[in-house]
Chain A
Amino acid sequence: MSEHRISMTINGLRHVSNAEARVSLSDFLRGNAGCTGVHIGCEHGVCGACTVIVDGLAVRGCLMLAVQAEGAEVTTVEGLAAGDGTLHPVQQALYDEFALQCGFCTPGVVMTLAALTAPGSKANEQQLLAAMSGHICRCTGYQGIRRAAKKLAAAPAGEQP
């Protein structure tokens, strides 16, 4: 059983702490870094609630070891809204389109959409909607999420729809 000193950038801030090799990135973000916006659902890659952005790509936090993220740039849902509370365009779009109810799956949905609509991303509407198949939502029936995704696809990358 190996323990590792792990350093990564989380939401723009450098974080260093120790963790056993077996600790997943999602558990590390919640337990070590206090980012409890990372929701842990199924822990085997099916539900998508733990999705975070690692080096620009949306990935399952539960399907990556924390030690693998050594040196990586990680963004969680805590890192999206502005300091004054202004929502990120993806969060605003989901809010406007009633795309959440209980909110458990929402951080994952937000992170996938944020990765695919970041400046420089070329994802079109079809790709955004297809990427939503990686998230399970048991409340909304997905229609609000689809409306938000379409709205975001129509807006220029990184801009408010």
Chain B
Amino acid sequence: MKPAPFDYLAPVTVEEACAALAEAGGGATLLAGGQTLLPLLNLRMSQPFIVIDLNRVAALKGISRGQACTRIGAMTRQCEAIASAELARALPVLVKAVKHVGHHQTRNRGTVGGSIALGEPAAELPATAVALDAIIEIVSVRGKRETAAGEFYLGPYMTTLEPDELVTAIRFPDWPQGHITLFREVAQRPGDFALVGLVGALVVEDGKVARAGLAWFGMGPTPIRARSAERMLLGQPLEAIEANAVAERAVADTAPFDDHHASAEYRRTVGARIFARTLREAFPAKEAA
């Protein structure tokens, strides 16, 4: 239960971090909050030659306003995201999602960018980024690039990130004030990864759904956007929405798996239930009607 030996580097600029990563040629691993990496090191499931610690890179920290978006530096800690008045105003569903990541003690170290870059399929933040059309900013010695969160995830812990690249920030486009937020997860204990989870947002204009972004977590090898359900919702008057039918369609987009926590069938069943319930709770008027 002790890590294999490694070299440790603590760059203070993004350029230094990129240079170290490029020089290591795939033998290095990036240390963000460490709340996933340290267990992997301790269990020797990961044995890098070099650990590049990003905690002293000031340029990767902080939450700022961009053009019609909120930009979260990759090394912003989860506890800072929860405490941010800016995020509470602009992205309430993201704050709700972060509160479900791990425990108080791990959120004090864990980072937003670390979780997004790791790509755990049952994690809250990658799905939130996919649901809300976030843009992931990436840098390497070869230059900068950006990718939509929806195109970033390839499989469990697999992303389009190259070995010499690092995530610098995540940009979340603005959603209008008063938009409807959707979040629910089922986990065995608080702090556990979700067995099934759902996150998203809806914009209602003139009583109809004008914009929808919904994604599942724990329902396949990556976060999964509920595109068919979004198409069903768009343009619908609120009173015409059949929550159960939309939920069935949303589950049809998923590819859940069996593991020792739950079967795929369980995940589909619970997924449909929580989707319908979350939709119904989002429109209390419909239930009264």
Q: Which residues of chain A come closer than 8 Å to B4, judged between CB atoms?
A: 22
**A85-B7 Cα distance, complex, nearest whole Å:** 42
B53 on the A face (CB < 8 A) = yes
Q: Report whether A57 and B35 are in contact in the complex, using a CB–CB cutoff of 8 Å.
A: no
A125 on the B face (CB < 8 A) = no
Q: Which residues of chain B come closer than 8 Å to A1, judged between CB atoms?
A: 5-7
Interface SS of chain B: loop
Using a CB-CB cutoff of 8 Å, which residues 1-37 of chain B contact chain A? 1-8, 10, 31, 34-35
A2 on the B face (CB < 8 A) = yes
Q: Report whether B190 and A133 are in contact in the complex, using a CB–CB cutoff of 8 Å.
A: yes
B106 on the A face (CB < 8 A) = yes
What residue in chain B is nearest A44 (Cβ atoms)? B39
Known interface pairs A63-B109, A64-B38. Does A133 touch B103 (Cβ–Cβ under 8 Å)? yes
**How many A-B contacts if CB must be within 8 Å?**
96
Contact with A along B172-201 (1 / 0, CB 8 A): 000000000000000001110000000000
B67 on the A face (CB < 8 A) = no
Q: Report whether B79 and A134 are in contact in the complex, using a CB–CB cutoff of 8 Å.
A: no
A157 on the B face (CB < 8 A) = no
What residue in chain A is nearest B105 (Cβ atoms)? A134
Q: Which residues of chain A come closer than 8 Å to B43, judged between CB atoms?
A: 44
B104 on the A face (CB < 8 A) = yes
Most buried by B among A1, A2, A21, A127: A21
Q: Report whether B191 and A134 are in contact in the complex, using a CB–CB cutoff of 8 Å.
A: yes
Q: Which residues of chain A come closer than 8 Å to B8, judged between CB atoms?
A: 2, 4, 21, 65, 67
Q: Report whether A22 and B106 are in contact in the complex, using a CB–CB cutoff of 8 Å.
A: no
B51 on the A face (CB < 8 A) = yes
Q: Report whether A59 and B105 are in contact in the complex, using a CB–CB cutoff of 8 Å.
A: yes
**A1-B190 Cα distance, complex, nearest whole Å:** 37
B55 on the A face (CB < 8 A) = yes
B42 on the A face (CB < 8 A) = yes
A48 on the B face (CB < 8 A) = yes
Contact with B along A26-58 (1 / 0, CB 8 A): 010000000000000001110010010000011
Contact with B along A51-79 (1 / 0, CB 8 A): 10000011110111101100000000000
Chain B residues within 8 Å of A, Cβ to Cβ: 1-8, 10, 31, 34-35, 38-39, 41-43, 51, 53, 55, 79, 102-106, 108-109, 189-191
Kindly list the 10 A-B residue pairs having the minimum CB-CB distance in the complex, ordered from nearest.
A134-B103, A21-B8, A44-B39, A1-B5, A131-B104, A22-B3, A57-B108, A63-B38, A133-B190, A43-B1
